[in-house]
Amino acid sequence: MSSVLAVIEEQKGIQIEMSDVTLENFDSLSRILAFVDRQTAGG
């Protein structure tokens, strides 16, 4: 999982807090994409 987080952080230029690593955000690919969209949109 940490390698997935590292790739997302590097590719999208965001910092993922450990408190954000939840099933609600990372349970499926669609949830991961939605989380990244929210983070890159500033919210």
pLDDT of residue 1: 82
Total Cβ atoms within 10 A of residue 39? 19
H-helix or E-strand containing 41? none
What are the residue ranges spanned by the domains of the chain? Answer: 2-40
Tens digit of each residue's pLDDT (9 = 90 or more) over 1-43:
889 999 999 999 999 999 999 999 999 999 999 999 999 996 5
Please tell me the pTM assigned to this model: 0.85
pLDDT of residue 8: 97
What's at 1, amino acid-wise?
M
HSE of 17 in the Cβ direction (CA atoms, 13 Å)?
3
Query: DSSP secondary structure string, 9-29?
Result: HHHHT----GGG-SHHHHSSH
